[in-house]
Amino acid sequence: MKRVLSLMLCLLMLLPAAPVQAKTVSEWLEGYDTGEIWFGEDFHYDITDEEACWELLQKPITVLDAHQTEKIYPRETPDGKKVNTDKLGGFINGASAAVHVLGPDEDGWTLIEGVDYYNRIIRGYVRTRILKTVTPNEKYGIIIDKLTQRLYVFIDGKLWDSCLISTGLPNDEQPYNETAAGEYMICSWVGDFDSEGMICATALRFNGGDMIHEVPHKIGYDGKKIYDRWEALLGQKASHGCIRTQRIATEKGLNARWLWDNLKKGTKVLVWDDGGRKMPYPEDDRQLFYNPEGGSLYHADRMCSTVRDKYLPLKAFAYGELDSGDFLRLNACTKCQPVRRKSAIAAENFARGVITQEEFEAALTPIPYPAEDLQVYYNPNGGKYYHSEERCSSVKERFLPLTGFDYAKLDTGNFADLKPCPYCDKIPRKAEIYQANLDMGISPEKLAELDLTTPASAPMEEAEPEETVTVTEADPRDVEVSITIRN
């Protein structure tokens, strides 16, 4: 019996411990003011007010006179215990992070406040002797706006240019990923570093472990740098706290490399918080551009260099049309970085608590169902796919033309077993469209009120293929597939 009990005890010891329920980001912030109030409750985040921006960029700041990677923990009382000891929390970085002095010297200690990696205002006592006033560089200034996800460069008092960035994206397990609001100084040129397989080039330190650096890349098998994954995230929160900066130069030449080559030590960096602020929607008549001959992207630049010359100039359409018809399937170009869809902006505003659920849903355009009599096609001789094209190139010639049927029958009888053809424009089933609307944020109650049935718009004209690849399947009926690959 003792042996059995001993074995059971050993087995129990091997069982994984019950998971500890992680706190939410909001729970991590409970009891603290955040960087939302760093510049004052009445602060106007107006990037067009050059005079006010430059005045703040040139205003001296008080820093903690310590090494740029040293962590200073404010104390609850002079020489008392630390205010906070959360992982990567409760401390102010030395040399470059501004603090506000809140009181006089008290026997060698002074009450201050600063912002930690959680974007929390930490108030407590530090040694008076480490308080140091520093004056910013007189030529350059940087403003990072977490709301617009842009970095703005000021030169000699004037707004010179701006570019896209990604600031920190916190989560419940890593709430310290937030990029802290506040005032900082560029303190060192760190260069390239590797972060979890991401290579971050031209890094400039401004707040301890937080850097301004080029959007990450990895090295492909052929030795080329691959940026696609992280460039696609520019314009939204995505980093671990650093400021990922676009590598493709603007018309004036601004990019991460320009910052590395031109900024000076002591350049002041303002980080504006997005808390409590509402991102406005672009005007409905704002022009965007696309390639009507099969293009899959929408653009801010009519002559975007990602598009082949034969398709230029691109065709214009209005921002107000972006969430309707065939424009729904277009993705944003990662180079010219056009404005985001109203639904994406509304989702962020809702997450920040600056709009109501009703306002959020009002900004969303539900995806409609195709018309009931829309013709869908299949091969009755054993074909396993349904198609949007009567003469789909994935089907052998002897089975063409395909047989048509109404979209209304797609979820009935044997049609319900058909899969969408992977090589012609996909026509989603009603269940997929319904789920997509839910994923967008529209409530089931709201969807129940809407009539999602609307005539389907005509598909965009396909471009001539630039490259053709032949693939053979095991199914003897639907074989010989020609895939058009577009760059």
Q: What is the pLDDT of residue 101?
A: 97
Beta bridge partners of 205: 188, 211
pLDDT score of 391:
94
Phi-psi region of 355 (alpha: psi -120 to 50; beta: other; left: phi over 0): beta
Edge-to-edge strands of the sheet including 198-207?
A: 182-185, 268-272, 140-145, 150-155, 158-166, 243-245, 210-214, 198-207, 188-195
pLDDT at 454: 53
The pLDDT value given to residue 468: 34
User: What is the structure's pLDDT at 21?
Assistant: 53
How many CA within 13 A on the CB side of residue 248? 15
Taking all residues of the chain, what is their mean pLDDT, rounded to a whole number?
86
Tokens (6 digits) for 139: 């030529």
Q: Which pLDDT score, from 0 to 100, does residue 471 have?
A: 32
* pLDDT tens digits, 335-378: 787 888 888 899 889 888 899 988 888 888 788 888 999 999 99
Backbone phi, then psi, for 405, in 5-degree steps? -150, 160
pLDDT digits (tens, 9 = 90+) for 233-279: 898 899 999 999 999 999 899 999 999 999 999 999 999 999 989 98
| Least confident span in 29-33, 106-110, 165-169, 482-486 | 482-486
| CA–CA distance, 91 with 104 (Å, rounded to integer) | 21
Return the percentage of the chain with pLDDT > 90, whole number: 63
What would the pLDDT profile of 178-193 be if each residue is shown by its tens digit? 999 999 999 999 999 9
* The pLDDT of residue 20 is above 80: no
- Residue indicated by tokens 């939302």: 36
Q: What is the reported pTM?
A: 0.74
My answer on whether omega of the bond before 338 falls inside 30° of 0, hence cis, is no
What's residue 144's pLDDT? 98
Residue pLDDT, tens place only, 443-455: 888 888 877 765 4
Q: Cα angle vertex 73, ends 72, 78, to 5°?
A: 115
Give the pLDDT band of residue 329 (cuts 50, 70, 90): confident
- What pLDDT score does 353 carry? 87
Q: Which of 11-25, 43-57, 419-433 has the lowest mean pLDDT?
A: 11-25
Task: Tokens for 322, please give them.
Answer: 């972006």
What pLDDT is stored for residue 430 in this prediction? 92
Residue 48 has pLDDT above 90, yes or no: yes
Q: What is the pLDDT of residue 470?
A: 33
469 has pLDDT over 70: no
Percent of the chain exceeding pLDDT 70 equals 89
Mean pLDDT to the nearest integer, 308-316: 94
Instruction: Quote the pLDDT of residue 440.
Output: 79
Measured CA distances, 377 to 366, 423, 432 (Å): 26, 13, 19
What is the phi/psi pair of residue 486, to 5°? -115, 140
**Is the pLDDT higher at 444 or at 202?**
202
Which of 304, 164, 183 minimizes the C-alpha distance to 234? Answer: 164
Q: How many CB atoms lie within 10 A of CB 449?
A: 7
Q: Are 47 and 272 in contact (CB under 8 A)?
A: no
**pLDDT (tens digit per residue) in 60-99:** 999 999 999 999 999 999 999 999 999 999 999 999 999 9
Rg (CA), the chain: 28
